Amino acid sequence: MEQTDQNLKRIYDELSRRINHIGIALNKQTFKTIQISEHYDLSRATTPSIGETEDAFKNWNCAILTAFRGSKNLSPEMNFQRNIKRNEELKAKLIENNLMFRSVNGCYREAGMDKPNVELCFFVTNTMGLDGTAGNSYKFFSKVYTLAEEYEQDSFLFTFPGINRVAFLIATNDDGRKDFRGDVKFAGPLFTHVPDWDAWTDCSDGRISFKLLGMILLGGTGNKKIRIGEGNIFDINGYKPDGLGILRYKGQKDLLEACKNYTGSVPLVTHYFKKDDVSEADIKYSLQRVLQELTKKKAKRIGFHCSVPLHGSYVNGAKAVLSIIQEWAKENDNKINQIVLVDIYGDYSK
């Protein structure tokens, strides 16, 4: 589905709001000063070093995209050759759009894989506008989005400049939007020199990756004990919960599998809504049951996620959950020290 400029602006505005919320939260935290000893070399086309990418993330909008696409009808060898041609076309269009880029490999490896899947990608920097100056952020976003959409990508990675060094994945087709349950997914903060596991980008001297590690806590809920968390609810070390609660809507297999695979020491209480048409009373009943069970287990620092549509809207569901949590926390103030509502799909941010 090709996006109109109005719809692209809506997606960009949502992205901007989320990065602003995260930026405000991170400004309240103390970080070790990042020493960047290298400068990104715009005159080169070869794979940048880790230091160069850090410099680029600090100074400009950056994106990573490719024209590689899987195929059920071609052999791996034939599809690789096809993808090489697609990347050559994309390269020409990046040049045509006055977009500066260098080559990187995007890699992925999980259990059972002897070697990683590798896609040839472009590390694109918002460093050259039509007039030779730094490009407009929305114009850059729009150009990259249009190219990713044209080459049938599920998503591409996008960053804003600054010391926060966090990234988002932007869905550019229906498969990506279905997976993210929306247009934008938080990818997490930047990590360097990562192992060859999960997803990463190869630099000339090591690997970088954006990971959901280290919970980013946002306030503004009307209760200092209730925070919105941007990160991985199972990242126990990232925010130190002593109890986890997850309520999911029927059919949410990703949450089901994540709960099944959880092996941590912190107790996990789960529940799912069995019917399609869930009311606010249903949400309140199930939510209170989970919280009561967690407090019986002496949990006082709770990581919590409830994902359910109300009147057809997950955002309405998130509003109802926050309201019910606020009411419950007020009545049970002495039983808790903190509840972190983890914003897995961006519903609370919206």
Per residue in 255-286, pLDDT (tens digit) is 999 999 999 999 999 999 988 899 999 999 99
Distance CA 100, CA 120 (A): 16
Which pLDDT does position 275 carry in this prediction?
A: 87
What whole-number distance in Å separates Cα of residue 78 and Cα of residue 70?
11
pLDDT reported for residue 250: 82
Query: What burial letters (b/e) apply to 291-321, b meaning 16+ CB within 10 Å?
Result: beebbeeebbbbbbbbbbbbeeebbebbbbb
Across the chain, where does the E strand assignment appear? 62-65, 100-109, 117-125, 155-159, 166-171, 184-192, 198-203, 206-210, 216-218, 226-230, 243-249, 268-273, 301-307, 338-342
Count of alpha carbons within 13 angstroms of residue 262, beta-carbon side: 23
Rounded Cα–Cα distance for residues 210 and 200 (Å): 8
Structure confidence by residue, pLDDT tens digits, 210-242 = 999 999 999 889 999 999 999 999 999 999 999
Q: Token digits for 5?
A: 């400029």
Look at the chain and count its residues: 350
pLDDT of 108-122, one tens digit each?
998 889 899 999 999
DSSP state string for 325-338: HHHHHHHTGGG-SE
Please give the C-alpha separations between residue 124 and each of 67, 165, 169, 195, 223, in angstroms, as whole numbers.
13, 16, 15, 24, 41
What pLDDT sits at residue 323? 97
Residue with tokens 């926060």: 164
Mind listing the pLDDT tens digit for each residue in 306-342?
999 999 999 999 999 999 999 999 999 999 999 999 9
The per-residue pLDDT for 5 is: 87
The two tokens of residue 60 are 């400009």
Residue 128, pLDDT above cutoff 80? no
**Nearest CA-CA partner of 298 in 242, 229, 344:** 242
In this structure, of 33-47, 78-92, 150-164, 190-204, the range with the lowest mean pLDDT score is 33-47
> Chain-centre distance of CA 317, in angstroms?
20
Q: What phi, psi does 274 have (nearest 5°)?
A: -80, -20
CA distance 228 to 214: 13
Spatial distance between the Cα atoms of 15 and 267, rounded to a whole number of angstroms: 34
Tell me phi and psi for residue 168, to 5 degrees. -130, 150
Closest CA to 164 of 122, 241, 216, 227: 216
Give the list of residues 6+ apart from residue 68 with CB closer than 8 angstroms, or none.
83, 86, 87, 119, 120, 121
Comparing 29 with 250, the larger pLDDT belongs to 250
pLDDT reported for residue 33: 61
Nearest alpha-carbon partner for 127 in 145, 146, 100: 100
pLDDT value of residue 253: 87
**Which tens digit of pLDDT belongs to each residue from 6-62?**
999 999 999 999 999 998 888 776 656 677 889 999 999 999 999 999 999 999 999
Cross-strand partners of 226? 339
Q: What is the per-residue pLDDT for 132?
A: 45
In angstroms, rounded to a whole number, what is the distance separating the alpha carbons of residues 127 and 1? 29
Q: Please, what are the domains in the chain?
A: 5-210 (no CATH), 216-342 (3.40.220)
Tens-place pLDDT, residues 71-90 = 999 999 999 999 999 999 99
Mean pLDDT, the chain, whole residue set: 93
